Structure 1
Amino acid sequence: MATTSFDKSFAVENEQACTKFLEAVSNPRTVNVKHRDLKAESSKGLKLLARRFSPSVKS
């Protein structure tokens, strides 16, 4: 995930924008991440790659 630092001064002159900003800062969004079995997915991916790159059998 990309990260960045933010260090810049700015002025908000609109009262409504100020209120919305303060509400957003005081109530951060929560992000729910679904649990995944990374070992199983890795194993499945390796099997798919092996099948894709294995020489096909001709009869």
Structure 2
Amino acid sequence: MRKVMTQHMKGEPTIPSTIGEELETNPFLRADDPAIAERLGMAGRSELEVFTELRRRKDSF
């Protein structure tokens, strides 16, 4: 986040990002991560169910 803020303050673009950065920061690309499922109260649920819940929450954010 600090990197993005610094780039923004300098008037530099913050995109494109690398796939590594996206995997670190984009929860939609990590629906298979047990920590995300647990955080959502969905431990043990399928990747599709976790992704669907992430999307539902984003839609009402």
Q: Tell me the TM-score normalised to structure 1 length.
A: 0.28
Q: Tell me the TM-score normalised to structure 2 length.
A: 0.28
Higher helix proportion: 2
Larger radius of gyration: 1
